[in-house]
Amino acid sequence: MSDTAGKASIWSNFRVEEAVTAAIDLYGPQAATAAAYCALDAWTEARSDDYKFWFGVFSALRDRKST
């Protein structure tokens, strides 16, 4: 995976918890799936910082579902 260090990432302006809340508001029970697709898209486009962000969002949503 390519390193995107030094490139501006829109997600650096947001916290994971903000994205979790927005995803739930937008996608309801499918929020974790939507975040997983965002992470997958970032992975396939070699955007490592975006991938890390979206994987964190997905993980937080998945953890909420399991509790």
* CA pair distance 61, 39, nearest whole angstrom: 13
Query: Within a domain: residue 6?
Result: no
Query: Within a domain: residue 61?
Result: yes
Give pTM, 2 decimals: 0.80
Query: Within a domain: residue 46?
Result: yes
* Domain extent for 61: 14-66
pLDDT tens sequence across 38-62: 999 999 999 999 999 999 999 999 9
Indicate the number of domains in the chain: 1
CA angle at 31 for the pair 2 and 37, rounded to the nearest 5° = 30
pLDDT tens sequence across 10-24: 667 889 999 999 999
Query: Within a domain: residue 40?
Result: yes
10 Å CB burial of residue 28 (0-12, 13-18, 19+) is exposed
CA angle at 36 for the pair 28 and 5, rounded to the nearest 5° = 125
Query: Within a domain: residue 8?
Result: no
